[in-house]
Structure 1
């Protein structure tokens, strides 16, 4: 449920930056790279920082999304990937 109406024509297409926290050593990166093939990637998936204890790794990617439906689809697909802990 949305608290307000979104005029997609004013928002999309848009460039979105995602930060993804994954379990270190998981295959999540490979799966996410495959998912991104369906989208216009502006800045390829790259590795960010590791957690202090080494249990987690951040990934970053920037994509152009044509509409809210594409945004929601990418969000949902990434969240389903085994090893993904947080999607920002």
Structure 2
């Protein structure tokens, strides 16, 4: 599945939306300074229960940030404690 990720220029994740890879992206209207990127997340699959998908999305918001933007965007694990 893919995630549509709303994030700041420094990679802070504001929100995520999961959807099948072949589906169009969807997200809430952007606020000033926010960017939207689409990233592939192999550990979230369509066959998972909704609760498991939400759990993994929550973990991504807590433990990752976005590096790059648009087509070059990808998730990178946050380093602790200064990258939270």
Report the TM-score, using the length of structure 1 for normalisation: 0.31
More helix by share: 1
Asked which structure has the greater CA Rg, the reply is 1
Bigger relative CO (Cα 8 Å, ≥ 6 apart):
1
The structure whose residues are more often strand, as a share, is 1
